Structures are given as structure tokens and as C-alpha cells.
Amino acid sequence: MTTNPPGQAFPNKTRVAILAELEKERRRLMQSQSMNTPGASISLARPSVKDFRDNAEQQHIAAQQKAALQHAHAHSSGFFITQDSSFGNLILPVLPRLEPES
């Protein structure tokens, strides 16, 4: 087992992995913060091409969800909501919870 120089708790590879994970988390938090505050679109960091692509993709998905929801409400007697689904569904049906008869 190799020893690290004094004051260095992690090997360089581990340090790089930790820094990359922290950067990814920082970007995710900045993106979610900008989505939650509509008027605060001033960014401290210069957006990358990937950020523009991700934002365009999210707007496209939001438009698809809206269209799917409007279509479902117009052509069905059920009730639907928009919800992220691990199966790729844009909308999900809502089933009423019926109370058991006493």
C-alpha cells in the first residue's frame, strides 16, 4: 500500500473523481435552481453546448407532456397528470381511491 504525502488524504485519482462528482452536482444544482426561479436567468458560469442541448431537450419534453395531457383530457373521461416515469411515460392516469363501505 502506498502512502500519501503529508496533508494529502486521498490519492490523485480519487481526488480527481471526487472533484468531478462535485462539479457534476454543482451543475445539477445550478440547473435546478434556474428552473425553480424563472426570473433569475443570469448565469455565473458560461453555459456549454451540452447545457443548451439539455435545456432544449427539457423544453421539448415539457411541450410533449403538455400536448399529451391536452389530448388525453380531450379524448378520455379519465384524469391524467404529468409525471416523470422510469418507463418513459409522459403522462400517468390518476385512479380515484375509493373508501371501503362500512
Closest of 7, 3, 58, 6 to residue 28, by C-alpha:
58
The pLDDT value recorded for residue 55 is: 77
The pLDDT value recorded for residue 60 is: 77
Q: For the chain, 102 residues long, give each residue's pLDDT as a single digit of tens.
A: 455 555 556 567 888 888 888 888 888 888 877 766 655 555 556 667 777 777 777 777 778 888 888 888 888 888 888 777 778 777 888 887 778 887
Report helix, strand and coil shares of the chain as percent, to nearest 5: 50, 10, 40
pTM: 0.37
Distance in angstroms (rounded) separating the CA atoms of residues 102 and 78 = 27
